[in-house]
Amino acid sequence: MTDDLATFYTAGYSLADREEGMRMGRWRALGARTKAAHARTLSTRAGLRPERVVEIGCGDGSLLQELALAWPDATFDGFEISPPAIEIARSRGIPGAGRLETYDGSRVPAEDKAYDLAVLSHVLEHVPHPASLLREAARVATRVLVEVPLEDNRSAARPAKRAEAARIGHLHALNRDDVRGWIDGAGLKVTGELSDPLPFAHHAFFAQDAVARAKAAVKWGVRTAAWKISPQGGERFFTVHYAVMAEH
C-alpha cells in the first residue's frame, strides 16, 4: 500500500502539463497560507512558539515555507513519500530548513521527542493507518498539530463528491470523533481546536467564468453563515477544515 501511495503522489507532483502544474502549485500555496494561519492561532492559544518543527507528509514544502515566515527562529524538517515533492521543497530555500527527505510513510526517521511540534496537515485522510501515523508523530514530538477536512457529512456523501475525494487520494471521510479518538489512542490530550469553512478564495479557485464564481460566492456565503450560527451543526451538512493541537 505504501508503494501505491508513493506512486500516486509522485505522479501528482510530476504533472506533464506545465500550466496545470503551475495552477496546482498556486492551489497548494493558497491552502498553505490558510493552514499556517490555523497553526499560528492554535500555537498562540497554547502559549507555544516552537523551536524545532517537523512536518510529516510535507508535500512540496508549501506549508513549511509559510511556517518559516511565522516562526523565523525555528528549525524545520520535513518528510514525504514523493521524491519529486521533496525536490520542489528543497528548491524553495526555506529559512531554517534542515532535513527535507523521503521516508517510508510509516516510520519517521527521528529520535523520540526530537521536536517541539509535529505537524500532520491534511495527511491522515490520505493514509491507510491514520492512528499509527499519529502515534508516530506523538513519538517524535511533545506536541502534535493535526488538520483534516471533515467529510462525514451529507454534502460530501454524494456520489460525485466521494468520487472526487477518491480521485485526490482521500481514503477516509472523517468526523471530529475520529480525530479525537486517534489523539486519545496516541496518549495525547486536546489543548485547542478550531474549524473553518474556508475563505471565498478557496471556493472560487477553480471557477472558470463569472457564472461559476457567482455559484461559488453563494456556496461560500451560505456555508459561512450556517457555520457562524452553529459550527458543529454545520459539519453535519458540509465540509469544514478541522485543526487540533494536542500534547502529552
CA trace torsion 111, 174, 84, 40 (10° rounding):
-60
CA distances from 49 to 41, 45, 72, 247 (A): 11, 10, 10, 14
How far is it, in rounded angstroms, from Cα 4 to Cα 29?
25
Question: Which whole number is the average pLDDT over 237-241?
Answer: 95
**What average pLDDT is seen over the chain?**
93
Pairwise pLDDT comparison (145 vs 4), residue with the higher score: 145
Whether residue 41 is predicted with pLDDT greater than 90 in this model: the reply is yes
DSSP-H helix ranges across the chain: 2-12, 18-45, 62-70, 83-91, 130-140, 159-167, 176-185, 200-204, 210-229, 231-234
**Percent of the chain residues past pLDDT 90, beyond the cut:** 86
pLDDT at 12: 65
pLDDT at 13: 74
**Percent of the chain residues past pLDDT 70, beyond the cut:** 94
Order across the sheet with 75-80: list the strands: 97-102, 75-80, 52-56, 115-121, 141-150, 240-247, 189-196
Whether residue 10 is predicted with pLDDT greater than 60 in this model: the reply is yes
- Structure confidence by residue, pLDDT tens digits, 148-205: 999 999 999 999 999 999 999 999 999 999 999 999 999 999 999 999 999 999 999 9
pLDDT at 21: 78
Whether residue 16 is predicted with pLDDT greater than 80 in this model: the reply is no
Residues 6+ apart with CB under 8 A from 127: 5, 57, 105, 133, 171
Which structural domains are found in the chain, ordered by start? 2-197+240-247 (3.40.50.150)
Question: Which whole number is the average pLDDT over 64-79?
Answer: 97
pLDDT at 2: 54
- Structure confidence by residue, pLDDT tens digits, 90-105: 999 999 999 999 999 9
How far is it, in rounded angstroms, from Cα 235 to Cα 119?
23
pLDDT at 17: 67
Question: Which whole number is the average pLDDT over 237-248?
Answer: 96
